[in-house]
């Protein structure tokens, strides 16, 4: 095997070459887009030792039931959080404004109710920001709560919400009212699972409207107080 030797002069050139290559590699690496760690996990509930509970009402349809739901909530002096899709808000600006005027909290439920998990990061950004614009235009308010459609919350979904400045809200008690059970079934589901800090997922349906007084009364009988989601989770 043939052996090669470097002179002092050539050795210095070789070290300079290695240093230059190292600097270029480090510079190239730093120039690449860096992934940002998700800073917060979704909220499924508030503090379980508190007596606060919240109604999280996701709205992409069912506008015919909302005026009566607002009337029931007003009768019991209960404030809820309504998560609105952008397309619904665009089509029902007066109703979105009425929800805000009644003192309820409004959250972001994406624009088109497409699958956040199947959307790209950039598509989720667009879904959130388009909805934010629609809510500002209709109700004159901004929100920083995001309820992803179907509760889908893969990492890129959480990252998109976080990068838009939103807290992701899921739930701990599900009425499953989209299956259109009778009101008694909805009341039973909530009453059997309610707990301190509960976030109760609901939608504007006929069954939910019929169940709403009993849900409120049974929760209050157990000593629970209804608050907005923001207050429940301590924002």
**Whole-model pTM?**
0.83
pLDDT computed for residue 40 by the predictor: 72
Q: Which fold has domain 52-233?
A: TIM Barrel (3.20.20)
| Site of tokens 């090669």 | 4
pLDDT-derived band at 39 (thresholds 50, 70, 90) equals low
Helix (H) or strand (E) holding 12: helix 8-31
pLDDT tens-digit series, residues 173-226: 999 999 999 999 999 999 999 999 999 999 999 999 999 999 999 999 999 999
> What is the distance between the alpha carbons of residues 105 and 145, in angstroms, rounded to a whole number?
10
- Answer yes or no: are the C-beta atoms of 83 and 59 closer than 8 Å: yes
DSSP codes of every residue in 105-169: EEEE--SS---TTTS-HHHHHHHHHHHHHHHHHHHS----EE--GGG---HHHHHHHHHTT-EEB
Residue 36 has pLDDT above 50, yes or no: no
Q: What residue spans define the domains of the chain? A: 52-233
Residue 55 has pLDDT above 70, yes or no: yes
Q: How far is CA 123 from CA 91, 129, 153, in A?
A: 21, 10, 14
| Nearest residue to 109 via CA among 44, 59, 161 | 59
């Amino acid at each position: 095997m043939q052996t090669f030797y470097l002179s002092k002069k050539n050795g210095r050139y070789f070290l300079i070459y290695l240093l230059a290559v190292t600097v270029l590699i480090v510079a190239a690496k730093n120039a690449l887009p860096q992934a940002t760690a998700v800073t917060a996990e979704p909220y499924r509930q508030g503090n379980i030792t508190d007596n606060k509970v919240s109604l999280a009402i996701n709205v992409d349809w069912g506008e015919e039931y909302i005026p009566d739901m607002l009337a029931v909530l007003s009768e019991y002096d209960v404030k809820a959080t309504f998560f609105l899709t952008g397309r619904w808000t665009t089509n029902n600006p007066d109703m979105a404004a009425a929800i805000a005027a009644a003192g309820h909290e409004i959250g972001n439920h994406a624009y088109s109710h497409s699958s956040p998990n199947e959307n790209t990061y950039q598509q989720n950004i667009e879904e959130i920001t388009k909805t934010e614009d629609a809510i500002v235009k209709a109700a004159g308010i901004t929100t920083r709560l995001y309820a992803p459609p179907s509760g889908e919350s893969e990492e890129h979904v959480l990252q998109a919400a976080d990068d838009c400045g939103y807290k992701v809200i899921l739930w701990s008690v599900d009425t499953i009212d989209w299956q259109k059970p009778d009101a008694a079934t909805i009341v039973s589901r909530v009453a059997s699972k309610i707990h301190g800090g509960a976030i109760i997922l609901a939608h504007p349906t006929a069954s939910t409207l019929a169940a709403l007084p009993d849900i409120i009364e049974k929760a209050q009988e157990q000593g629970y107080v209804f608050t907005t989601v923001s207050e429940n989770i301590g924002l």
